[in-house]
Amino acid sequence: MKVLGLRDWKGQRNRLAVLVEYFGAKRIRSITAADLERYRKDRLQTPTKMRQEERSVADVNRSLALLRTALTFAVKSGWLIRNPFTMTTGIISTAQENTRERVLSTDEQRRLLQACQNIVRRHIYPLVLTALDSGARKNELLTLLWRDMDADKGLMRITAENAKTNKARTIDLEPITVAEIRKLRELSGGDPDERVFGIKKTFRRAWESAMREAEIENARFHDLRATAITTWLLRGMQTEFAMRRSGHTEPKTFQRYVRMCDEIRQKQREQLREWDLAASLTSLATPELTGFVEPSRPELIN
């Protein structure tokens, strides 16, 4: 079970390198609130390095949060009298972050799985299929060992060490996923200490080529988690059980993964059709409000 440290330390290390490059020549006591505002503005105007895309507010917020943590540590250590973040308001605003709304439709899921059947990317097919079934996080899947997988019973165990919330959970897999896991076990040998999916580095190239072949746009691997959770609820799974299955402990965080899709909209439209709004309003109407006169009471007619 994780006690200290960060799982995403590589991402934080990259953010720290940018902060050092920007603030490294300044003494920490000379960093002002105006410097923080200037950094935020400059960083937002700097495109991403790999794809040369517009940098998101969320990415800049993560960098500022890291800097705030470092300066808070400096205050506790007696190196700094006051944290400059206390002199600002709204510099880290999660309300300005764009909420992800992407969820793969049933047809997109089918096209994606077909694209992953290609011989050059067949190695990610079991991973993508299990992600769509289990709703597990990418790191939970990539670090999954054969000793945590019961292919005979169709159970997948996420250990507390690999879970983001430090809580272990067991997930029942669908028969189609179990069949694929069994094939994978026969091919790999199923060594208890080996990774189930055998991917130790990145699979971004295979993922992006599968997206292109399936003609799916603006989708990330993490969107498979939201797709799985949304599908569970669409099929009638209770929220409490879905949260346990996905490993969420806070309803607010869980709701971020419940995303609107065409299937949900269609289901809602069908449910609304069952409610005859016009008939309901007619039954509630009164003569004083509508000018309606009952035919059986002519004395009400002036």
Tens digit of each residue's pLDDT (9 = 90 or more) over 170-203: 999 999 999 999 999 999 888 999 999 998 878 9
Burial class of 18 by CB neighbour count within 10 A (0 to 12, 13 to 18, 19+):
middle
Domains of the chain with bracketed CATH? 11-96 (no CATH), 106-255 (1.10.443.10)
74, 26 Cβ separation under 8 angstroms:
no
Residues 27-83 have pLDDT tens digits of 889 999 999 999 999 999 988 877 778 888 888 999 999 999 999 999 999 999 999
DSSP state, residue 285: -
Q: What pTM value is reported for the model?
A: 0.68
Q: 167, 158, 115: which is closest to 140 by C-alpha?
A: 158
pLDDT at 290 over 70: no
Strands (E), the chain: 149-150, 155-158, 169-172
Q: What is the structure's pLDDT at 300?
A: 42
- Placement of tokens 């896991």 in the chain: 181
Residues 6 or more apart whose CB falls under 8 angstroms from that of 157 comprise: 148, 149, 150, 168, 169, 170, 171
> What's the rounded Cα separation, in Å, for the pair 90 and 4?
29
> What's the rounded Cα separation, in Å, for the pair 37 and 28?
16
151, 182 Cβ separation under 8 angstroms:
yes
Confidence of residue 99 (pLDDT cuts 50, 70, 90): low
> What's the rounded Cα separation, in Å, for the pair 283 and 94?
46
153, 178 Cβ separation under 8 angstroms:
no
